[in-house]
Structure 1
């Protein structure tokens, strides 16, 4: 079984995001970038499936600028076998929209013929949570979202999903799209020898034009702003006073 894992280059989750003074977007100057945490979990799960003998090959794919090579090399150092970079933008500030990403991934799937696409449920920079579902629709494949456990059972995948009411276990026929949640696993750190080996692993480069996909944006970002500062809390002396304050604020 071949597993395809899309990975996105985003601002590192430890970095405090700064908005540009003119409100035109997020300031990326001299900002540390890394692999989207959900995608890192997807890479780890794909590697574990290979270690169990359920998968033969793990292919990482990233869409963006040439700088995404760094993110792909991280996936290769973790244990992916090879990587594909789709250059679809010249500016790091350009965020390819989910539908365009799904179309590009469909083109890659059509070429690579994987039996499973393991993806992060969402990217932490835009929180769209849409690409996996769109890709499943375009391919006509089964899908399992918010996975906290993945097992292969013959020609099917048994996936435990995190839902509002607890956990739900479903069985989907392969080929399938599986989007992963945070509690699926703990990603490994790439060792120095594997980082060195990753430099020699295959990394193919394509463009959106090569795949015949138009990535022109359909959405326009009107304004980007910092979230409002949280107001200080207020101490109350009794339950009655608390209820009174809530009534005044229209919360009750």
Structure 2
């Protein structure tokens, strides 16, 4: 899961084009809450299941873990190291994969993308590094006889896909509403274990992550232009002609 800048807040950028995290409040990525919900639903149907959360980030990223633990689950892992700062998806996937291998797993559940970068590539990168199937963009899922099965909605078809466990799965924002943490859950989360790891614990060199190990970099960062006021046209019989002229001028047709 990812601790991301609040999408509703104004952001500033550093000299290298990345978001200045100190200038904006952060929170658990909303899209990752759907993965948390699916993990908890699976655990509710299996008494032997254990749900652990994992994030990479600075000290305040623990807040995201605590929120997830308040929703449910057993424990969490926080990977924090100054040398990780500035990592791209490739470097982040390395850190996550090493932490997952260290902990052990049957199923890795991810959101379909983060609400800041919205790249959506991490589940596939993780699966490649872990050497397991990637079953992505599911709108529902079930596990039976060592196989994960789910439904993916495409532009022109609905597809049922499956993969053998262990596997990496990502779920969409249509997979089921995430539950709200209860007061009891919030209090219980304070007592649940959160393990903190650094790069040395995972056997990763500083040069493999951060800007030095990045395969991509931000070239420029530009704010979206403010929305302009829409044009209202009174249709007195020539509305269709006016609409066609507008679409032509905007090169939509």
Map 1:150-161 to 2 at 5 A: 150-161=141-152
Name the structure 2 match of 1:196: 187
Gaps of 5+ in 1: 1-6
Local SS of the residue matching 2:53: strand
Cα distance in structure 1, aligned partners of 2:125 and 2:9: 30
Cα 1:248/1:108, change in 2 over 3 Å? closer
Is residue 54–residue 152 contact of structure 1 (8 Å, CA) maintained in 2? Answer: no
Q: Match of 1:129? A: 120
Q: Where do 1:102-251 residues align within 5 Å?
A: 102-213=93-204, 214-217=208-211, 218=214, 219-236=216-233, 237-251=238-252
Partner of 2:89: 98
Aligned to 1:10: 4
Match of 1:3 in 2: none
Q: Give the secondary structure class of the aligned counterpart of 2:181.
A: coil
Moved over 6 A (4+): none
Contact 1:85 1:206 in 2 (8 A): yes
Greater strand content: 1
How far apart, CA to CA, are the structure 2 residues paired with 1:109 and 1:45?
18
Structure with the larger helix share? 2
- Does the C-alpha gap of structure 1 residues 87 and 54 become closer, same or farther in structure 2, counting only changes over 3 Å? same
Name whichever of 216-225 and 148-157 sits farther off. 216-225
The whole-number CA distance in structure 1 between the counterparts of 2:249 and 2:218 is 36
C-alpha displacement at 1:41, in angstroms?
1.0
Secondary structure of the residue aligned to 1:144 is strand
Instruction: Provide the aligned length of Structure 1 versus Structure 2.
Output: 243
Question: Offset of 1:95 from its aligned partner?
Answer: 4.7
1:67-118 deviation per Cα after TM superposition (whole angstroms, max 9, x unaligned): 1111111111111100100003379xx4531111211122122222211000
Aligned-residue CA RMSD in angstroms?
Answer: 2.3
Contact 2:12 2:23 in 1 (8 A): no
What is the TM-score when the length of structure 1 is the normalising length?
A: 0.87
State the TM-score, normalizing by the size of structure 2.
0.86
Provide the C-alpha distance between the structure 2 equivalents of 1:196 and 1:250, rounded to a whole number of angstroms.
56
Residues 1:46 and 2:39 are matched in the alignment: yes
Distance 1:23 1:138 in 2: 28
